[in-house]
Amino acid sequence: MASASPRKIVVTQRFFDDRSLAYLRAHGCTVELAPPPPGMGEGDMDVETLRRLLTGAAGWIVGHAHVTRALLAALPDLLVVARRGVGYERVDVEAARSLGRVVTIAAGGNDASVADHAIGLMIAVGRRFRQSQAGMLDGDWSILTGSDLCEKTVGLVGLGRIGRSVVRRLSGFDVRVLVHTSSPDADYAQRTGIEYTDLPELLRRCDYVSLHAPLTPRTKGLIGASALAAMKKGAFLINTARGGLVDDAALLDALRSGHLGGAGLDVFASEADPALRPVTEALLALPNVVATPHAAASTHEGLARTNLVAARCVVSILDGKSPPPGTVIADGRDTLPLPAGG
């Protein structure tokens, strides 16, 4: 069994860049890169594999692996779990806190990348890029008439860091922006010209609806059959947040019926529930769906930023200091005080 090291860090996701690696090493950490093998996602790594990789580690930089109570309990030396990303529904936050661990997210690291992706999906699905290219490949160069983003009404469900980044990007398209959020900010609305509204009104009025809410028990299935039916006929749904926000089977029905004009999807309910894979495959087959495989944050620049935020969080915790603002989602240091590193 490996002996514990106060500065051993294990990285289990792919694409960990040289700058972030050098940062950890410059702060006295030994780093083991342990990405999943080709053809396997990090979320497919089982508890025993993770336990073996993480034994003796003080820090874990993780992407989509499941951080469970059983795993944490089997790793008493693990002090900090740093997510390279901002969602944390795969982390047992209460278990981490009760077991004295610290869990962080890479707040602010991928905002620009995901916001760019959301705008790209709006344009791609509205202008029918997929259908046009498919036709050209078949020898049909007929011009398909698409829809402008310019001067449309765009609805954002959620207004966190990514949502606000989308608002900034939309300012160049002369659009009206409606926002549904649980935390409206009157000063922000005055500065940006957005309009807060409830979800039914947003769905009724908007030509594009883009989701930027976290996945919680309250938001799970938020866009179901009734919400989709309430959307403006011919509208487009964009989801770069979490698949569980949308009832994908209901979305499939709304697209097949012609009620919606199309969808731009980076996330799917089948990511959490493999039984829904046939629904995902049916969505992917539709000509008016533009899809990517949960890749919105995965640019060279975005991954480098989130890697470095995660690395800084790990070093801060091991040094007994406060990590960057907005990054801590579970802090069990009062339960099990963490020693300062050297």
* pLDDT tens-place values along the chain, 342 residues long: 345 567 999 999 999 999 999 999 999 999 999 999 888 888 889 999 999 999 999 999 999 899 999 999 999 999 999 999 888 888 999 999 999 999 999 999 999 999 999 999 999 999 999 999 999 999 999 999 999 999 999 999 999 999 999 999 999 999 999 999 999 999 999 999 999 999 999 999 999 999 999 999 999 999 999 999 999 999 999 999 999 999 999 999 999 999 999 999 999 999 989 999 999 999 999 999 999 999 999 999 999 999 999 999 999 999 999 999 999 999 998 764 444 433
Q: How far apart are CA 85 and CA 105, in angstroms?
A: 6
Task: Tell me which H or E stretch contains 116.
Answer: helix 111-126
Same structural domain, 271 and 127? yes
* Residue 339: inside a domain: no
Asked whether residue 89 is assigned to any structural domain, the reply reads: yes
Residues 162 and 77 in one domain: no
Token reading at 342:
């050297």
Q: What is the pLDDT of residue 89?
A: 86
Do 229 and 270 fall into the same domain? yes
Which residues span the domain enclosing 70? Answer: 8-109+299-331
- Looking at residue 87, its pLDDT comes to 84
Residues 218, 268 within the same domain: yes
Strands of the sheet containing 8-11, edge to edge, are 30-33, 8-11, 59-62, 80-83, 102-104, 328-331
Please tell me the total count of domains within the chain. 2
Whole-model pTM? 0.88
pLDDT for 335 equals 61
Element housing 81 (H / E): strand 80-83
Judge if 96 and 115 occupy the same domain: no
Looking at residue 271, the DSSP 8-state letter turns out to be G
**Whole-number CA gyration radius for the chain:** 22
CA–CA gap between residue 211 and residue 260 (Å, rounded): 16
Where in the sequence numbering do the catalytic residues fall?
242, 271, 294
Cβ pair 268, 292 in contact under 8 A: no
The reply to whether 207 and 316 lie within a common domain is no
What pLDDT score was predicted for residue 81?
Answer: 98
Nearest Cα residue to 8 out of 318, 322, 321: 318
Q: Are residues 91 and 171 located together in one domain of the fold?
A: no
Within this chain, do residues 115 and 105 fall inside the same structural domain, yes or no? no
Residues 282 and 306 in one domain: no
Outline where 60-171 has alpha helix (H): 69-73, 93-98, 111-126, 129-137, 161-170
